[in-house]
Amino acid sequence: MIHTNIGNTPDGCHPDIRQILDYWLSIHPDNGLPSRQHVDPLHFSRHLPNIRLIDVVDDPPRFRVRLTGERIAQHFRASQVGMFFDEINPDFEARESFIAFTTAVRTKEPYWNSSRCELDAAKDFVALERVVLPLAGDGTNVDALLVLALLGNVATQVNQQESQSAA
């Protein structure tokens, strides 16, 4: 498959990130964005433990957890399903996650980042690599985000590669 970089996703991203991005591109209609109805979890079942599906509610947007994979729920010690991120983290608007989510909504393109897990202060040492993929029920207005988040050793490999190439 030919890989097309869209959004800010780099060539050197983790292969799992590339795989879910390629899947998103494969379901992307000619006009507009894919919707939740286009998403078939069987096509990325091995990634389900690291997936979050997030509802985009209101304008300005708030972000509510619709679905959390097992690995993510274990990391946060709760599924957080039904909760808004600004309820989970009162300073959410100051977090990288807020920037990632709002950028994906505004640009209607994937947003990639590699950093430390900043949504849990007790685990901010944990490496994170994620991609945020916008979904739109009407093809235009983003109403959901599909997020693949790689935590710990999986993401550390990419963070180390970035540090070495920056040096």
What tens digit of pLDDT does each residue of 26-61 get? 999 988 999 999 999 999 999 999 999 999 998 899
> Which tens digit of pLDDT belongs to each residue from 122-165?
555 577 889 999 999 999 999 999 999 998 865 544 444 444 44
pLDDT of amino acid 13: 84
CATH architecture of 15-166: 2-Layer Sandwich (3.30)
pLDDT of amino acid 146: 97
Q: Indicate if the pLDDT at residue 70 is higher than 70.
A: yes
Name the residue with higher pLDDT: 126 or 78: 78
pLDDT of amino acid 122: 58
- What would you report as the CA-atom Rg of the chain, rounded to the nearest whole angstrom? 15
CB 7 within 8 A of CB 110: yes
Mean pLDDT of 67-90: 89
Name the residue with higher pLDDT: 13 or 69: 69
Each domain of the chain, given as residue ranges in start order, spans: 15-166
3-state DSSP of the chain: CCCCCCCCCCCCCCHHHHHHHHHHHHHCCCCCCCCHHHCCHHHHHHHHHHEEEEEEECCCCEEEEEEECHHHHHHHCCCCCCCEHHHHCCCHHHCHHHHHHHHHHHHCCCEEEEEECCCCHHHCCCEEEEEEEEECCCCCCCCEEEEEEEECHHHHHHHHHHHHHHC
